[in-house]
Structure 1
Amino acid sequence: MIRFGAALTAALPLFLAGPALAQVAARPLIDQCVANTCKARLTAPQLLVEVQALIAAKRYAEAKPMLAALGRDPALKLETRYLTGFIAAEEGDLDTAIGEYRAILSDDPGQTRVRLELARAYLLQGKTASADHHFKLAQADESLPPDIARVVRSARNIIRSKRAWTFNVDLGFAPDSNINNATDANGVTLFFGDTPLEFTLDEAAKARSGTGLTGLIQAGLRLPVADRASMLLDLDLNGTDYGGSDFDDYTAQFAAGPEFRLSDSLSVSAQAVGAQRWFGGDLASRQAGARVAVQVALSDISRVGVQIDARRTDTMFDAGYDGWQAGVYASYEHAVARNAIASASIFARREWLNAPAYSNKEGGAAIGIGAELPWGFNAGANIGASRAVYDAAIPLFSAEPRRDWRVNGRLTVGNRKLQLMGFSPSLTVSTYRTISGIEYFSNDRTRIRFGLARYF
């Protein structure tokens, strides 16, 4: 991977404004001195040309003092940062290089040349997921020369085939308007035969607010087992602790199975899946099943994925919820700009449970967009909606089967320029609304999450 990163360095041309390194004078001014001490009066642009000439000749030690002087001119802040990062990368100081490149992109996310250099630095550092993300955004630049586009495309193919592991941690706290996911109704109508009776709900049956500590760990391992074949191991841990046991919610899921790269643009994987959920301090359910996923790169900036998931659920609280569930999920991603990726997804899911009144069919769709913004901010937004129809009625509530509309939305804002031990802050506002034909099952939920995330 490091050898490929070095080859990529040699192949990429400069896109920044101002004279390119390949176009500067072959003989730096310092070489024209005839004495040990050389004095010259240069404008800032002239000094920039001199610095570029020295860097092109790989005379970094001589370029650094001039570059420091150049940094005093605010008009050349971008060029100074870029060249400082370039020298740092060439000398193996990848942390400094990444810091300089990210500083530029935090002010101007549209600098494709800088984004490519940032991706290269991440690649040399072994952070392949970060490298792939920035290569993908760079590919959205329509002015990218064809030869560079080919190099970047090859880089992404190698990254996807060689990526060995991923590990992400996200910690935070979240005020929540409905920690027990309960109804927002004040009363309920129950039917005893044909006779409806009105009841007022106890406070314990209504939505309850609270603030919880949240944690998310995602880990993945890809082990090569043959040419174009790997073994995938995935672990997801997610939990919220509300300071007591009543509504604490934890989930754990593990998946393992082979992945086959049938071509540079097509991969197929099949994994066995096992999951457990704990709620209120007790084991709530266990699941076991399998999933098959297909990923297709339609172009350098577009990708589609399809996943089929089927699993058996055994619950500890109500045998009526035991049974099978299966779903088909499809997603599409497209880099719509040099700093933004849009997505769309659809799904269809079926549950065959012991109790027909709990068995249901659901289908829905969602759209979203994520972008890197100036000053180090990144933001994402998505909205989704689905329709659920149940197989049979619950006679106590209605003579008709339950039918729900479910809508959700999420807005996330983060800043990777601000870091604490490698963790970056984020703010996520999520809202959920269920509109049911049976009022008791209608509810609202809003969650505001303050988090610190690190992506290894």
Structure 2
Amino acid sequence: MRASLIAALLLLGAGSVAHAQSSPCEGGDCQLRLTPAQLLASAERLVALRRFDEARPLIAALKLAPGYTLQTRFLTGLIAAESGDFHAAADQYKAILADDPNQTRVRLELGKAMMAMGKPQSADKQFRLAGQDRELPPELAKAIRGVRAVIRQKRAWRLDVDFGIAPDSNINNATGVDQVTVNLGGYSLPLTLEDNARARSGTGLTATVSAGVRLPVSQNLSMLVDFDGTGSNYAGVDYDDYLVQFAAGPEFRLSQAVSVSIEAVGAQRWYGGHLATRQGGVKAGAQATLGARDRIGLQLDARRTVALFNHGYDGWQTGLYANWEHALSRSLVGSVGLFGRRDWLDAPAYSSKEAGLSLAVGGELPHGINFSLSGTGSRAVYDAAVPFFSNDPRRDWRWSTRATLGNRKIRVFGFSPELSVTYARTSSNIPFYSTDRVRFRAALARYF
């Protein structure tokens, strides 16, 4: 090691070692002492000159100096990337970002490594976060936007998977009251609900899969094919809940910053071991990037539902969603959403109008921690009364909050742990429809 270190230092030239402390040669063995800062400068120059074999012993020596972990990881990653070992390079960059997610240069290098590894979606995420740095030179910010546009045009597929356990205070999403008042023959009578009509708690196994394929047709036209599936399995089958959805259609890129898409949609849901609903329809969307820190989106979803459990729920369901996303910092993103929904169902008592607002913030923190906080509030008004419960139409206030915490630094066969808690409450003028639900979820997630 000493001989290699001396040889590497001698090859740097007088300019690199002018300030180094040296001692006389004794017995043909010369010693040269460098401060950590001088050692770092020497290693960086060797890496820039692609003299990696000579740089490695300097980097190894620099690891012994306190406070230089980031620099040694970065140089090690650069050498690995330039040597073609992009997996090793990505591991070094991820370790740096886990401790400090605000390292823009490191994020750019990680994006390049992900591209080389054939993971354009992961690369696009890194370039998007890097592009939020306000201190980026304009020409570099423009280059990042251009690279992201190319990625979007060529991105072929995505796959996200997670599975875990979910303790739930209300697995049947039922009322929390023990007694309701009903109308019978012009009389109001109090009735005590049976156990299976009230909220039940339980712990289930859960899993979600989200996949998509994007097939370029021409320079500004691509075909999208998406699949989403989610499921919850509890003891027995009474409250098992599974949903699958397919969507396919074209996406048109109107400019580097604006795109629109339209997809045919089909979905099926199974509940309690039986097929509960079938859906078919269309969803259309548009999104635009506004500068380096803002993005807006609009989506219309309209589908026809066939409810096999009760044909009074057959009919059309439509929703319009608008969202504004803003980069709060290089690693934090906030969003505001507005939505409106209209259900035209065969039974007027089940048809409704709903409007609401959602807020969310999320991003990366030091030590590999990812988090998100979100909340939604809405008002729903139904078209007609359910005479059995009330002479007035149903009116609900609906609230939900969700907090998620994960750690990408911890990996089990490529999966990272994720914890979430969701609270949902419906306050209705008809007590039977008032619900409370708290759901915890401990899962392992992987984003390919």
TM-score by length of 1: 0.92
Q: Deviations over 1:42-99 (max 9, x none)?
A: 1111111111111111101110011011001121111111111111111111121111
2:446 counterpart SS class: strand
Q: 1:25 to 1:395 in 2, by over 3 A?
A: farther
Q: Corresponding residue for 1:443?
A: 435
Report if the CA contact (8 A) 1:234-1:254 is conserved.
Answer: yes
1:402 counterpart SS class: strand
In the TM superposition, residue 29 of structure 1 has moved relative to its aligned partner by 5.2
Q: Corresponding residue for 1:178?
A: 170
Q: Corresponding residue for 2:289?
A: 297
Q: Corresponding residue for 1:340?
A: 332
Given candidates 213, 218, 227, the residue that maps to 2:219 is 227
Given candidates 357, 366, 372, the residue that maps to 1:380 is 372
Report if the CA contact (8 A) 1:28-1:54 is conserved.
Answer: no
Q: Deviations over 1:252-285 (max 9, x none)?
A: 0000111111110111111100000000000000
Given candidates 403, 409, 417, the residue that maps to 1:411 is 403
Q: Corresponding residue for 2:76?
A: 84
Q: Deviations over 1:362-415 (max 9, x none)?
A: 111101011201111111000010111000000010010000000000000000
Given candidates 301, 313, 323, the residue that maps to 2:305 is 313
Confirm whether residue 111 of structure 1 aligns to residue 100 of structure 2.
Answer: no
1:85 counterpart SS class: helix
Q: Corresponding residue for 1:197?
A: 189
Q: Corresponding residue for 1:323?
A: 315
Question: 2: distance between equivalents of 1:259 and 1:281?
Answer: 36
Question: 1: distance between equivalents of 2:192 and 2:384?
Answer: 25
Report if the CA contact (8 A) 2:165-2:205 is conserved.
Answer: yes
Instruction: Please give the residue correspondences for 1:6-155 in structure 2 after superposition, counting only pairs within 5 Å.
Output: 39-155=31-147
Question: 2: distance between equivalents of 1:26 and 1:330?
Answer: 62
1:398 counterpart SS class: coil
Question: 2: distance between equivalents of 1:224 and 1:361?
Answer: 38
Q: 1:399 to 1:100 in 2, by over 3 A?
A: same
Report if the CA contact (8 A) 1:136-1:335 is conserved.
Answer: no
Q: Corresponding residue for 1:10?
A: none
Confirm whether residue 394 of structure 1 aligns to residue 386 of structure 2.
Answer: yes
In the TM superposition, residue 194 of structure 1 has moved relative to its aligned partner by 3.2
- The amino acid that maps onto 1:325 is Q
- The amino acid that maps onto 2:137 is P
TM-score by length of 2: 0.93
Q: 1:360 to 1:61 in 2, by over 3 A?
A: same
1:391 counterpart SS class: strand
2:378 counterpart SS class: strand
Confirm whether residue 357 of structure 1 aligns to residue 381 of structure 2.
Answer: no
CA RMSD of aligned residues (A): 1.9
Question: 1: distance between equivalents of 2:188 and 2:286?
Answer: 51
Q: Deviations over 1:87-124 (max 9, x none)?
A: 11111111211111111111111111111111221122
Confirm whether residue 256 of structure 1 aligns to residue 236 of structure 2.
Answer: no
Question: 1: distance between equivalents of 2:93 and 2:219?
Answer: 35
Confirm whether residue 161 of structure 1 aligns to residue 153 of structure 2.
Answer: yes
Question: 2: distance between equivalents of 1:405 and 1:210?
Answer: 26
Unaligned runs of 5+ residues in structure 2 are: 1-11
Q: Corresponding residue for 1:267?
A: 259
Q: Kindly report structure 1 stretches of 4+ aligned residues shifted beyond 6 Å.
A: 24-27
- The amino acid that maps onto 2:93 is Y
- The amino acid that maps onto 1:41 is R
- The amino acid that maps onto 1:432 is A
Q: Corresponding residue for 2:426?
A: 434
Unaligned runs of 5+ residues in structure 1 are: 1-23
Report if the CA contact (8 A) 1:249-1:277 is conserved.
Answer: yes
Report if the CA contact (8 A) 1:27-1:53 is conserved.
Answer: no
In the TM superposition, residue 39 of structure 1 has moved relative to its aligned partner by 3.4
Q: Corresponding residue for 1:188?
A: 180
In the TM superposition, residue 244 of structure 1 has moved relative to its aligned partner by 1.4
Q: Judge which range, 115-124 or 385-394, deviates more.
A: 115-124
Q: Judge which range, 58-67 or 187-196, deviates more.
A: 187-196
Question: 2: distance between equivalents of 1:321 and 1:375?
Answer: 48
Question: 1: distance between equivalents of 2:214 and 2:162?
Answer: 22
Question: 1: distance between equivalents of 2:29 and 2:322?
Answer: 68
Question: 2: distance between equivalents of 1:85 and 1:377?
Answer: 21
Question: 2: distance between equivalents of 1:256 and 1:213?
Answer: 29
Q: Deviations over 1:285-337 (max 9, x none)?
A: 00000111111111222111111111100011111000111111111111110
Identity %: 53
Question: 2: distance between equivalents of 1:343 and 1:126?
Answer: 30
Question: 1: distance between equivalents of 2:224 and 2:15?
Answer: 53
1:247 counterpart SS class: coil
Report if the CA contact (8 A) 2:153-2:219 is conserved.
Answer: no
Question: 2: distance between equivalents of 1:302 and 1:126?
Answer: 27
2:384 counterpart SS class: coil
In the TM superposition, residue 251 of structure 1 has moved relative to its aligned partner by 0.3
Report if the CA contact (8 A) 2:164-2:205 is conserved.
Answer: yes
